[in-house]
């Protein structure tokens, strides 16, 4: 997602929680090694502590298991032997400065948006490997503008934590990806082009009862359920003028979208009661519900003049009380709360030594 992210390798960004029975919480903070000097900026008062988890490459789309014991994430870190995004697994207390996490995707094609299923032993993710075992090309600009590829070879699969594919949930022509699972453990929401446009759909966790949720022209994606499973928050680019509509359709016909103008929308889980949440301008994306269900945490560059920085913001679900949470000068995005609400995992360019690396961080959250 990033004409506006020049500090990244621009390869991770189809931003794609769960809150069932809670089990014994993990002490993710580990106070003796958490608050490294310089990781938390003085204004970041919601972070009681902050721990860096990865130390190289582009790492993002980190999602907790239902029991908060493990995290699945995607990375293109070449030192881990991958040429494009693949899925990796970690315990919630681990970090990878000198070791490598286990890869739990096939290592073939390109993958995106892994998400745990309720049994904590399987996960869903999208992959292009059926069409080509090689990494697909990544076009980043079209007519001078930043674009994202929307690969029509993406389908959604189920795999176990050893990387064995145990099922395929989609097989329609076109793009199927960005799958996330309801905290109730019964539904999956995903983005698909099966209608000819990028719309949201839900299905049962076995792939049955596919239901279209959105039907307005524009890119609807990166959807997440509310903690009680009754609502969806997502990002959207909704072209309105004839020129914008033509541009959107022309790009989509080439398997591309231009994501520099996006706002957040919220609706009931069946698509009803749809309303626009933000009207900030620029790119507002990677939204996630606060554990209370009454607020949304998201990433935005609406205060930026040249495309970045991106920071995290909190807003009420009625669009009021916008508050800035992070205060970096580069990139903070992909915020995801643990199911018990104690921790937040997110991706950031902070502490990368001036490189383009995007790493994972786990914050101990305080309201």
Q: Above 90 in pLDDT, residue 124?
A: yes
How far apart (Å, rounded) are the C-alpha atoms in residues 236 and 8? 22
- What integer pLDDT is reported at residue 301 of this predicted model? 97
Q: Is residue 264 part of a domain?
A: yes
CATH number assigned to the domain comprising residue 109: 2.120.10.30
Q: Is residue 8 part of a domain?
A: no
Q: Is residue 271 part of a domain?
A: yes
Of residues 2 and 104, more confidence is placed in: 104
Q: Is residue 284 part of a domain?
A: yes
Q: How many residues does the chain have?
A: 367
**Cis peptide bond upstream of 309, omega within 30:** yes
Q: Above 80 in pLDDT, residue 10?
A: no
Q: What's the helix, strand, coil split of the chain in %, to 5?
A: 5, 40, 55
- What integer pLDDT is reported at residue 313 of this predicted model? 98
- What integer pLDDT is reported at residue 334 of this predicted model? 98
- What integer pLDDT is reported at residue 20 of this predicted model? 32
What residues make up the domain containing 67?
31-365
Pick from 187, 262, 208, 268: nearest CA to 233: 268
How far apart (Å, rounded) are the C-alpha atoms in residues 14 and 29? 28
Give the other-Cβ count within 10 Å of 99's Cβ.
7
Model confidence at 27, pLDDT cuts 50, 70, 90, reads low
Q: What is the pLDDT of residues 220-274, one digit of tens each?
A: 999 999 999 999 999 999 999 999 999 999 999 999 999 889 999 999 999 999 9
- What integer pLDDT is reported at residue 361 of this predicted model? 98
Decide if 331 contacts 348 (C-beta within 8 A).
yes
- What integer pLDDT is reported at residue 28 of this predicted model? 56
Q: Above 70 in pLDDT, residue 55?
A: yes
- Beta partners for 116? 123
Q: Is residue 73 part of a domain?
A: yes
- As given in the structure block, the two tokens for residue 190 are 């995903």
Query: At which residue do the structure tokens 């022309």 appear?
Result: 250
Q: What angle do CA 88, 331, 348 make, to 5 degrees?
A: 35
Instruction: Name, in order, each residue with C-beta under 8 angstroms of 7's C-beta and a sequence gap of 6 or more.
Output: 308, 330, 331, 349, 356, 358
Model confidence at 146, pLDDT cuts 50, 70, 90, reads confident
DSSP 146-199: E-EE--TT-EEEEEETTS-EEEE---SSS-EEEEEE-TTSSEEEEEE-TTSS-E
Q: What average pLDDT does the chain have? A: 91
Q: Above 60 in pLDDT, residue 4?
A: no
Q: What is the pLDDT of residues 59-109, one digit of tens each?
A: 999 999 999 999 999 999 999 999 999 999 999 999 999 999 999 999 999
Q: What is the pLDDT of residues 284-332, one digit of tens each?
A: 999 999 999 999 999 999 999 888 899 999 999 999 999 999 999 999 9
Q: Above 90 in pLDDT, residue 18?
A: no
Q: Sign (positive/negative) of CA torsion 34, 36, 40, 42? A: positive
DSSP 17-85: ----S--SPP--S-GGG---TTTS-TT-TTEEEEEE-B-SSBEEEEEE-TTSSEEEEEE--GGGT-SS-
DSSP H helix total and E strand total for the chain: 1, 27
- What integer pLDDT is reported at residue 16 of this predicted model? 64
Q: Is residue 206 part of a domain?
A: yes
Q: Is residue 2 part of a domain?
A: no
Q: How many domains does the chain have?
A: 1
How does DSSP classify residue 109? S
Instruction: Name, in order, each residue with C-beta under 8 angstroms of 344's C-beta and a sequence gap of 6 or more.
Output: 47, 297, 335, 336, 337, 338, 362, 363, 365
């Amino acid at each position: 997602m990033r004409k506006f992210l020049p500090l990244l390798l621009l390869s991770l960004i189809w931003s794609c929680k769960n809150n069932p029975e809670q089990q014994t919480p993990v002490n993710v903070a580990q106070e003796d090694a958490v608050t490294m000097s310089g990781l938390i900026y003085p204004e970041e008062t919601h972070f009681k502590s902050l721990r860096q988890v990865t130390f190289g490459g582009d790492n993002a789309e980190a999602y907790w298991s239902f029991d908060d014991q493990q995290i699945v994430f995607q990375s293109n870190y070449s030192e881990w032997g991958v040429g494009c995004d693949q899925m990796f697994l970690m315990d919630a207390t681990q970090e990878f400065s000198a070791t490598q996490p286990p890869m739990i995707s096939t290592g073939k094609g390109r993958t995106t948006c892994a998400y745990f299923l309720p049994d904590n032993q399987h996960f869903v993710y999208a992959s292009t490997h059926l069409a080509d075992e090689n990494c697909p090309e990544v076009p980043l600009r079209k007519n001078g503008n930043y674009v994202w590829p929307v690969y029509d070879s993406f389908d959604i699969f189920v795999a176990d934590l050893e990387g064995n594919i145990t099922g395929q949930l989609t097989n329609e022509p076109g793009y199927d990806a960005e799958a996330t699972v309801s905290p109730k453990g019964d539904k999956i929401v995903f983005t698909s082009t099966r209608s000819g446009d990028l719309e949201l759909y839900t299905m049962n966790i076995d792939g049955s009862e596919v239901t279209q949720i959105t039907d307005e022209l524009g890119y609807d994606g990166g959807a997440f359920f509310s903690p009680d499973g009754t609502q969806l928050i997502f990002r959207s680019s909704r072209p309105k003028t004839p020129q914008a509509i033509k541009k959107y359709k022309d790009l989509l016909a080439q398997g591309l979208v231009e994501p520099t103008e996006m706002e957040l929308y919220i609706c009931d889980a069946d698509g009803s009661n749809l309303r626009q949440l933000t009207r900030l301008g620029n790119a507002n994306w990677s939204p996630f519900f606060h554990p209370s269900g009454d607020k949304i945490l998201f990433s935005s560059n609406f205060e930026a003049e040249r495309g970045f920085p991106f920071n995290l913001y909190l807003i009420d679900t009625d669009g009021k009380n916008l508050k800035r949470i992070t205060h970096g000068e580069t990139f903070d995005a992909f915020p995801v709360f643990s199911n018990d609400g104690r921790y937040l995992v997110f991706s950031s360019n902070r502490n990368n030594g001036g490189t383009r690396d995007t790493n994972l961080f786990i914050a101990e959250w305080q309201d």
